[in-house]
């Protein structure tokens, strides 16, 4: 009987060490990670589908022809753009438009002080016309989960999406 005492004591000590190491590892792994907004910008609602992430479907109309805009598209003076909202749910939106050397302007909402709520599939009530001259057309859509002041700098709670389209 005297030989079994130290062996059980040693086993209990090893078991305690293993349990303490397991607990320490669990605390390290289970600790929630809080991202730094400076290095990890806003990426949308938690759990949102990337396939339906916020964006704009941009189409252009040239005469009677209507086509979806793609990266190889060259716009011409007189082309009319229209925008359809892509999102996985209601969101707030501001759209800025810059044509060539002209200064950028907010085209949606027209005259509003705060960003309005839009839903997936909504067609925006604005149809800017591409002006003459060379350069690029820049469309920036700023999505957010809450209303924002129109025309302000993009904040950490917003997600800007920018399309740069070349002109002939």
Domain coordinates of the chain in residue numbers? 1-31, 50-167
| CATH T-level assignment (fold) for domain 50-167 | Immunoglobulin-like (2.60.40)
Angstrom distance (rounded) from CA 138 to CA 49: 26
pLDDT number for residue 47: 53
pLDDT number for residue 125: 95
Per residue in 54-67, pLDDT tens? 789 999 999 999 99
Overall residue count recorded for the chain in this entry = 168
80-86: strand order across its sheet: 65-68, 55-62, 80-86
Per residue in 10-56, pLDDT tens? 888 889 999 998 888 787 776 666 666 666 655 555 555 555 567 89
Q: What is the pTM of this model?
A: 0.69
- Examine the pLDDT at 114 and tell me if it is beyond 70: yes
């Amino acid at each position: 009987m005297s030989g079994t005492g130290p062996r059980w004591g040693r086993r209990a000590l090893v078991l305690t060490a293993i349990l303490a190491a397991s607990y320490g590892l669990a605390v390290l792994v289970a600790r929630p990670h809080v991202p730094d907004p400076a290095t990890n910008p806003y990426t949308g609602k938690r759990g949102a589908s990337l396939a339906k992430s916020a964006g704009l479907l941009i189409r252009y109309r040239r005469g009677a022809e209507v086509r979806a805009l793609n990266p190889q598209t060259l716009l011409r003076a007189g082309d009319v753009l229209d925008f359809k909202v892509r999102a996985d749910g209601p969101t707030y939106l501001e759209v800025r438009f810059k044509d060539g050397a002209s200064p950028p302007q907010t085209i949606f909402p027209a005259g509003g002080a705060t960003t309005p709520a839009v839903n997936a599939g909504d067609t925006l009530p604005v149809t800017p016309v591409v002006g003459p001259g060379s350069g690029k057309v820049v469309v920036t859509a700023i999505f957010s989960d809450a209303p924002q002041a129109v025309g302000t700098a993009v904040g950490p709670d917003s997600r800007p999406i920018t399309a740069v389209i070349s002109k002939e």
